[in-house]
Structure 1
C-alpha cells in the first residue's frame, strides 16, 4: 500500500488548520491537486446546498479530468469528505447537505479534526453572509511549506501566448484581493448607468447570474469538449456562440476587463490552428472568470434577504 498523501487545509485568519488524507478513489484527480500545492484561495461557502465549503482551486486539470469513481448523492457521504469538481472547486462537506447531486470524492478530513472543520465552516458562513471579511484558505502538503502560485499554461502561437500571459497576470492580481471593478459595482459606481431607476441590487444579481455559468459551463465546457475530441472548427463555433453575449453584458454592467478579454479571445480563435493552444486559452479564461465569480459571491449582499426564511416541513 502506498503512503497516503496528507494535506493541510488552513485558514490563517481564523487560526484553524485541518489535516486530510487523499485516497485512491480518484487517484488522477488527487494527484493533480497534490502537484498544484501549495496554494491559497478565497474561501467560499455553499449558499443553497447546506454545510459545504468550497473554493476555486488553481488546477487546470479539474476542468477536464475524468473521474474513475463517483457517488450518486453527496448528501450521504461522511462529514469531512473532500470533493473535486469540474467547476474547478475543491469542496468539503462538514454537515447536512440538502442538494442531491453526484460528486467525485478524493479524500477525507481526519476524524480528530472534524470539530475544527465545523468551527471553520460556521466562521466562513458568517464572513460570506454577513461581515464580508474575506477568509483565505491555504492548502499545502502536510508538514510542507505554505505559499502560493498560479499555474501558467503555454501556447505555441506567440500572440495567443501573449494573451494567456495577460490573462494570467490579471488573474494573479485578483486572486487574493477583490477586483476593483467588482468593488465599484457593489458600491454603486457603475459607469454605464446599468440598473434601472438607479438600483444596484438588480445589476449585481444579474452579474452573478451571468458570471458563474460563463466560467463553469462556457469556458469550462469548451475545455472539456476539446478533450472529448470535438473538432477545432466546431470548438471555434461554439466559443463564438457561448461567450460573446454574456461577455458584452458583463462589460456593460461594469466588468469592462471581462469584455475586453472576451473581445481579444474572439479575435484570436479563428487564428488558432492548434488544439492545445485553444485549450490553454480557454482554461485561463475559465480560471479568470471563476476567480471573479468567487469574489462576486463573497461581495454579494446576501444579508439583505435575512427576513426571508423557508418554512419548516410540516410533520
Structure 2
C-alpha cells in the first residue's frame, strides 16, 4: 500500500498550521504540487464564493496539467478539501461556499486540523478585507524543511531566454513583497492622472478587472492552447489579439512593467520558432500576472463597501 503524501500548510503570522493528505483522484496535479515543495505565497481569500482560501502556487504545470477527475459542484465537497486549478491556485474549502462551479480536488486536510483551518480562514478574511496585513502561507512536505523558490523555465532563443530571465527576477522580487507600482496606485500616486475628477477607486477597480483576466485567461489560455496542439502561427496571432489592449491600459494606470514586458513579448513573437520557447515565455508572463493579481486583491480597499450588504429575499 502506498504511503499517502502529506503536506503541511502553515501561516506563521497566525501561529496556525494544518496537515493535508494528497490523494489519487488527480494524481498528476497532486504530483506537480508535491514536486514544487517547499514554497511560500501570499495567502488570499475568496471574495465572492464564500469560505474558501486560495493562493498562487509557483507551479507552471498547473496551467495545463490534465485533471481526469472533476466534481461538478465544489459546494458539496467536505470542508478541508484541497483543490488545484488552472488559475495556478491551491485552494482549500473551509466552510460554506456559494459558487456552484466544477473543481479538481487533490486531497484533504486531516480531520483533527479542521478547527485550525476554520480559525485560519477567518483570520485571513480579516486580513484581506480589513487590516491589509499580508499573511504568508508556507507549504512543505510534512516533516520536511521549509523554503521558497520560483521555478525558472528556459528558452533556446537568446532573446526569449533573456526576457524570461527578467520576468523570473521580477516575479521573485514581488512574490512576497507588494510591488511598489501597486502600492503607489493604492495610495493615490498615479503619474498618468488616471481617474476622472481625481478619483482613485475607479482606477483601482478597472486595474483589478483587467489584471486578473490578462493572467488567468489571456496568457494562461495561450499556454493551454499551446499544450493542446495549436500551431505556432495561430498562437502568435491569438497573442496579438488577446494581450496588447489590456496590457497597454494597465501601463497607463501605473503598471508600467506589465506593458513593458508585454511589448517585449510581442516583439519576440516572430522570432519564436519553437513551441517550447513560446510556452515557457507565456507561462512566465502568466505567473507574473497572477502574482500581481494576488497582490491587487489583497491591497484593494474592500472595506469601503462595508455598508453594502446582501439583501435576503422575502420569505
> What is the TM-score with the length of structure 1 in the denominator?
1.00
Residue 268 in structure 1 maps to residue 268 in structure 2: yes
- 1:228-249 deviation digits (Å, cap 9, x = unpaired): 1001000000000010001100
Instruction: Give the equivalent residue in structure 1 for 2:168.
Output: 168
Q: Where does residue 159 of structure 1 map in the other structure?
A: 159
Residues 43-90 of structure 1: CA distance to partner in whole angstroms, max 9, x if unpaired? 000000000000000000000011010000000000000000000000
- Return the offset for 1:313: 3.5
Aligned match of 1:44: 44
Unaligned 5+ residue runs, structure 2?
none
C-alpha distance in 2, partners of 1:288/1:170? 8
Q: Distance in 1 between matches of 2:270 and 2:293?
A: 27
Q: Which runs of 4+ in 1 moved over 6 A?
A: none
Task: For 2:313 and 2:91, locate their aligned partners in 1 and report how far apart those are by CA, in whole Å.
Answer: 28
Counterparts of 1:82-231 in structure 2, within 5 Å, are 82-231=82-231
Tell me by how many angstroms 1:303 deviates.
0.2
Cα drift, residue 159 of structure 1: 1.1
Q: Give the Cα–Cα distance (whole angstroms) in 1 for the partners of residues 234 and 124 of structure 2.
A: 42
- Displacement of 1:226: 0.1
Q: Residue 314 of structure 1 corresponds to which residue in structure 2?
A: 314
Residues in 1 aligned to 2:153 and 2:120: alpha-carbon distance in whole angstroms = 33
Q: Per the alignment, in what secondary structure is the counterpart of residue 270 of structure 1?
A: helix
Structure-1 separation of matches of 2:257 and 2:311: 41
Q: Deviations over 1:240-263 (max 9, x none)?
A: 001000110000000000000000
TM-score, normalised to structure 2's length? 1.00
- What is the CA-CA distance between 1:158 and the residue it aligns to? 1.1
Computed over aligned residues only, the root mean square deviation of the Cα atoms, in angstroms, reads 0.5
What is the CA–CA distance in structure 2 between the aligned matches of 1:152 and 1:126, rounded to whole Å?
33
Residue of structure 2 equivalent to 1:79: 79
What count of residue pairs does the alignment treat as equivalent?
315
Deviation string 1:171-215 (CA, Å, 9 cap, x unpaired) is: 000000000000000000000010000000000000000000000
Residues of 2 paired with 1:285 and 1:219: CA distance?
7
Q: Tell me, which stretches of 5 or more residues in structure 1 are unaligned?
A: none
Map of 2:256 onto structure 1: 256
Q: Secondary structure at the match of 2:3?
A: coil
